[in-house]
A and B are shown apart, each in its own frame.
Chain A
Amino acid sequence: MSSDVRFTDFKSDKQPTWCPGCGDFGTMNGMMKALAETGNDPDNTFVVAGIGCSGKIGTYMHSYALHGVHGRALPVGTGVKMARPDIEVMVAGGDGDGYSIGAGHFVHAVRRNVDMSYVVMDNRIYGLTKGQASPTSRSDFETSTTPEGPKQPPVNPLALALASGASFIAQSFASDALRHQEIVQEAIEHDGFGFVNVFSPCVTFNDVDTYDYFRDNLVDLEEEGHDPTDYEAAKEVILDSDKEYQGVMYQDENSVPYHEKHGVTEDMSEIPEGAPDDAMDLVREFY
């Protein structure tokens, strides 16, 4: 069926309640197109979503999906992929979900290198709770709960991924539809954990990290001739806090995903109708 799949097959008939102009529209469109383009269909795709504006994506897309608990999307995705290596798993979340309450899971998902993609809609703000600082907010970004700014520097999720041993690190911009789709596609096709931080502007609560800001400041690594397989070069752009980059920053060409490395290749949903044939051996072990 996959050859006939169009990206609209991944669209549900539920109308998004995101604010008009929200970056998440573009982010989601790119994800759906990337999934269709990589030969997946809704029945073999599992989307996991966290909590927040980004978490609503499971409702607006059509596939197998779970909209879970705040911050725990990556463990859910990990479990799905372990049980079903045959299923395409895509985890979606926001900067709060992924880098604040879920930061611990992010580090460990990265180092586990499970073969799934993780798309973070980074708007540098808590939108759904109506405008509080997020872990990627600038240190002087004034919000209702941080009137003088968060008083702490923002997290650099790309550096966090690099330090955790990531095999694929990328960044895209929701408004640059074609490049965003290409980058997510590369994350899907990557053998391992494909991490994409997406600039997905919040038009309602963030008047600093706007579409215009990113359009004016974005540097495309592809145009710069960046070689993502060059770890040192990757490190340089990832740690460069003066610029906003788009593109694949780092890719380990020799990445071996968790399930291949550790032989987790069976479809775990299939089990016999009773105890396994040799199950009495388990008992005899205790002689």
Chain B
Amino acid sequence: MAEDLNWAIGGEAGDGIDSTGKIFAQALSRAGRHVFTSKDFASRIRGGYTAYKIRTSVDQVQSVVDRLDILVALTQRTIDENVDELHEGSAVIYDGERSWEADIPDGVTGVDVPLKSIAEEAGGAIMRNTVALGAACEITGFDVEYLDESLEKRFGGKGSKIVENNKEAARMGQEYVRENYDVDLGYDLETTDEDYVLLNGNEAIGMGALAAGCRFYAGYPITPATSIMEYLTGRIEDYGGHVVQAEDELSAINMALGAARGGARAMTATSGAGVDLMTETFGLVAQSETPLVITDVQRSGPSTGMPTKQEQGDLNMALYGGHGEVPRFVVAPTSITECFWKTVEAFNLAEKYQTPVFLVSDLAMSVTEQTFPPEAFDMDEVEIDRGKLVDDDDEVDEWLDAQGRFRAHAVTDDGISPRAIPGTEEGAHMSTGLEHDELGRRTEDQDERVQQVDKRFRKVETAEKREDWDYREFGDEDADNLVISWGSNEGALVEALDYLEEDVRVISVPYIFPRPDLSDEIEAANEVIVVEANATGQFADLLEHDALTRVKRINKYTGVRFKADELAEEISEQLSVEVSAQ
């Protein structure tokens, strides 16, 4: 493994922790280093404890680990919260002039920098975090010049004076440490000529939506989904689209449904508590055969749960939410690049099969900023398939009945009916949440009911045959032991392989329904462990059902994401335990 630095800044909400962290992350990225960030934050505007953590290496990094090398602590609580992750060789940068006396753990180097005083000298106390960044550069052997570009990006809008002051503040922080401390913890951050982009999962979903031709988004603010709406606002307009902040999630999903009936590619996004409200409309989307992408950025539940904490607890809701039997697809991207590609795919699936598609992400992925080569989002690779959209006279004629009425819910071999959107001549028709005939008119006729139910589920069967529902594979393909995961745990799991002594095969599953049939893989394995961030093992239940066997489970529901080293330990432990007889 190449040099791997774990850096963090922590303080109270309102201290500018996030933007300072982002500035450092961007600087590292500009220096051609890979970055993986995470955030500790609470549901409050000011106070409490919040931290922005960066893991950086010249190799790709895709997980957090249980180790912190450099900590910028603006509060004692920041030190206390991270005390277990600090080690001999760690340094804590703090401001000894502040009213609290820093309690630096044994073996950890305390670097007392008068952040506020230096910042004032540079032009204002507000720049104390920038001073800390400069100090961190000195300790890590990272050229302070790399901060310049990200400082320009962050403060450019506030005028060149602010930018220059910040650059100066960073240099003064660096100078101060150089002159007053002889800290050599052995860090000397290497740089490369690589150009990386730095983005989080929600930005990748938003960008995927724009690439896929999404033109309408309606949503209601909720952590941690809001940043998708924030991303689209101000960008979607460039493509003739629009974002509406609705009065609630009930409205948001119905607006998106309306836009989709109008022929737009439309999306809504929310988190579990919002999905509860949207569930009301799931059945209508499916029954009216409307193409719609519904994104759930999961957070800890139930009820208000822990709104700023990680969990993968909504799998059953995405699969089974709504009364009656609702055909749907459930797709769960496993990485930030996959957030992009699976969003594109979700729009295609929705239109090809005129079915709701649930895109299930989670808090960890939504707040993590990670570096990628820009080619990871190669826009030339984006394909758009609008399915059976009929728009010219001949196509429409083909689907008219003897009385000239458009058969919007025609019963077909593959279950997919033609789709005419408003403005298409002779295409006028009704769609409804009621059971209906081929024309969309309500019916309670037993034969028509069965035909329509069957055709809607036949679309899913068709999709199962036509599409690839692959899994992603890592580790040793021939290993006896199999670890399976869904959603965002992939990165931690892949990195856990580096820590594990045992050989394991890792299968990471991005499709929950339809999903790849893993029966053979499970049967061939000696031990099978399913990793997921929930208490009950919702995905493990599905796999047991699919493969008619029992699997071992690693469940984490503390609200904190899996970490690579911790996960390796748990896998190792599970592998050493005999399976109890069933």
Shortest distance between the CB of B201 and any CB in chain A (Å) = 13
B244 touches A80 (CB 8 A): no
A160 to B197, CA, bound (A): 50
Determine whether B522 belongs to the interface, using a CB cutoff of 8 Å to chain A: no
Whether A66 contacts B288 in the complex (CB less than 8 A), given A83-B262, A286-B198, comes out as yes
B428 touches A59 (CB 8 A): no
In the complex, which residues of chain A have a beta carbon less than 8 angstroms from the beta carbon of B543?
none
Our pick among A1, A45, A80, A283 for the contact of B197 (Cβ within 8 Å) is A283
Determine whether A67 belongs to the interface, using a CB cutoff of 8 Å to chain B: yes
Our pick among A105, A264, A283 for the contact of B379 (Cβ within 8 Å) is A283
Determine whether A224 belongs to the interface, using a CB cutoff of 8 Å to chain B: no
The chain A residue sitting closest to B431, CB to CB, is A66
Determine whether B246 belongs to the interface, using a CB cutoff of 8 Å to chain A: yes
The chain B residue sitting closest to A46, CB to CB, is B422
Shortest distance between the CB of B250 and any CB in chain A (Å) = 6
Whether A271 contacts B251 in the complex (CB less than 8 A), given A79-B256, A286-B199, comes out as no
B423 touches A84 (CB 8 A): yes
Which among B129-137, B209-217, B446-454, B494-502 touches the partner chain? B209-217
Shortest distance between the CB of B48 and any CB in chain A (Å) = 29
Our pick among B259, B380, B422, B432 for the contact of A67 (Cβ within 8 Å) is B432
Whether A58 contacts B432 in the complex (CB less than 8 A), given A86-B423, A275-B211, A279-B382, comes out as yes
In the complex, which residues of chain A have a beta carbon less than 8 angstroms from the beta carbon of B239?
276
Determine whether B115 belongs to the interface, using a CB cutoff of 8 Å to chain A: no
Determine whether A48 belongs to the interface, using a CB cutoff of 8 Å to chain B: yes
A residues 134-157 near B (Cβ < 8 Å) are none
Our pick among A72, A74, A283 for the contact of B374 (Cβ within 8 Å) is A283
B258 touches A66 (CB 8 A): yes
The chain A residue sitting closest to B374, CB to CB, is A283
Determine whether A43 belongs to the interface, using a CB cutoff of 8 Å to chain B: yes
B259 touches A79 (CB 8 A): yes
Shortest distance between the CB of A121 and any CB in chain B (Å) = 18
A residues 84-112 near B (Cβ < 8 Å) are 84, 86-87, 104-105, 107-108
In the complex, which residues of chain B have a beta carbon less than 8 angstroms from the beta carbon of A86?
423
In the complex, which residues of chain B have a beta carbon less than 8 angstroms from the beta carbon of A43?
422-428
A266 to B236, CA, bound (A): 12
In the complex, which residues of chain A have a beta carbon less than 8 angstroms from the beta carbon of B263?
83-84, 267-269
B422 touches A268 (CB 8 A): no
Determine whether B67 belongs to the interface, using a CB cutoff of 8 Å to chain A: no
Determine whether B235 belongs to the interface, using a CB cutoff of 8 Å to chain A: yes
Tally of contacts, chain A with chain B, CB under 8 A: 220
In the complex, which residues of chain B have a beta carbon less than 8 angstroms from the beta carbon of A284?
197, 374
A194 to B377, CA, bound (A): 45
B247 touches A64 (CB 8 A): no
Whether A279 contacts B379 in the complex (CB less than 8 A), given A79-B262, A80-B262, comes out as yes
Determine whether A167 belongs to the interface, using a CB cutoff of 8 Å to chain B: no
In the complex, which residues of chain A have a beta carbon less than 8 angstroms from the beta carbon of B429?
64-65
A283 to B196, CA, bound (A): 10
Determine whether B441 belongs to the interface, using a CB cutoff of 8 Å to chain A: yes
A83 touches B266 (CB 8 A): yes
Shortest distance between the CB of A198 and any CB in chain B (Å) = 21
Determine whether A225 belongs to the interface, using a CB cutoff of 8 Å to chain B: no
A residues 231-269 near B (Cβ < 8 Å) are 262-264, 266-269
Shortest distance between the CB of A166 and any CB in chain B (Å) = 16
Our pick among A13, A79, A283 for the contact of B258 (Cβ within 8 Å) is A79
Shortest distance between the CB of A216 and any CB in chain B (Å) = 37
In the complex, which residues of chain A have a beta carbon less than 8 angstroms from the beta carbon of B288?
66, 68
**Residue with the greatest number of chain A CB neighbours at <10 A, chosen from B198, B262, B403:** B262
In the complex, which residues of chain B have a beta carbon less than 8 angstroms from the beta carbon of A75?
218, 246, 250-252, 254-255, 258
B441 touches A48 (CB 8 A): no
B251 touches A105 (CB 8 A): yes
B442 touches A59 (CB 8 A): yes
A72 touches B250 (CB 8 A): yes
Shortest distance between the CB of B69 and any CB in chain A (Å) = 26
The chain A residue sitting closest to B206, CB to CB, is A282
A76 touches B242 (CB 8 A): no
In the complex, which residues of chain A have a beta carbon less than 8 angstroms from the beta carbon of B428?
42-43, 45, 62-65
Determine whether A69 belongs to the interface, using a CB cutoff of 8 Å to chain B: yes
A108 touches B259 (CB 8 A): no
* In the complex, per-residue mask of A172-211: 1 if CB is within 8 Å of any chain B CB, else 0: 0000000000000000000000000000000000000000
B215 touches A59 (CB 8 A): no
A264 touches B247 (CB 8 A): no
B residues 18-33 near A (Cβ < 8 Å) are 29-30
In the complex, which residues of chain A have a beta carbon less than 8 angstroms from the beta carbon of B199?
286
A83 to B255, CA, bound (A): 10
In the complex, which residues of chain B have a beta carbon less than 8 angstroms from the beta carbon of A67?
430-434
In the complex, which residues of chain B have a beta carbon less than 8 angstroms from the beta carbon of A271?
213, 215, 265, 384
B262 touches A268 (CB 8 A): yes
A66 to B429, CA, bound (A): 9
Our pick among A59, A63, A269, A274 for the contact of B264 (Cβ within 8 Å) is A269
In the complex, which residues of chain B have a beta carbon less than 8 angstroms from the beta carbon of A76?
254-255, 257-258, 261
Determine whether B101 belongs to the interface, using a CB cutoff of 8 Å to chain A: no
The chain B residue sitting closest to A286, CB to CB, is B197
A77 to B403, CA, bound (A): 28
B259 touches A83 (CB 8 A): yes
In the complex, which residues of chain A have a beta carbon less than 8 angstroms from the beta carbon of B212?
275
In the complex, which residues of chain B have a beta carbon less than 8 angstroms from the beta carbon of A27?
none
Determine whether A31 belongs to the interface, using a CB cutoff of 8 Å to chain B: no
In the complex, which residues of chain A have a beta carbon less than 8 angstroms from the beta carbon of B374?
280, 283-284, 287
A287 touches B195 (CB 8 A): yes
A31 to B11, CA, bound (A): 62
List 16 additional A-B contacts (Cβ < 8 Å) besides A83-B262, A268-B263, A276-B210: A43-B422, A44-B423, A45-B428, A59-B432, A67-B430, A67-B434, A75-B218, A76-B258, A79-B259, A80-B259, A83-B264, A268-B241, A269-B421, A276-B211, A276-B379, A279-B382
- Chain B positions within 8 Å of A, measured between CB atoms, are 29-30, 195-199, 203, 207, 210-213, 215-216, 218, 235, 237, 239-242, 244, 246-248, 250-252, 254-266, 280-281, 284, 288, 374, 377, 379-380, 382-384, 403, 421-434, 440-442
A-B CB contact pairs (8 Å), 8 listed: A14-B441, A43-B427, A76-B254, A108-B247, A108-B251, A266-B215, A268-B265, A287-B198
The 8 closest A-B pairs by CB, nearest first: A79-B258, A269-B263, A266-B240, A83-B262, A271-B213, A75-B254, A268-B264, A286-B197
- Chain A positions within 8 Å of B, measured between CB atoms, are 1, 12-14, 42-46, 48, 58-59, 62-69, 71-72, 74-84, 86-87, 104-105, 107-108, 262-264, 266-269, 271-276, 279-280, 282-284, 286-287
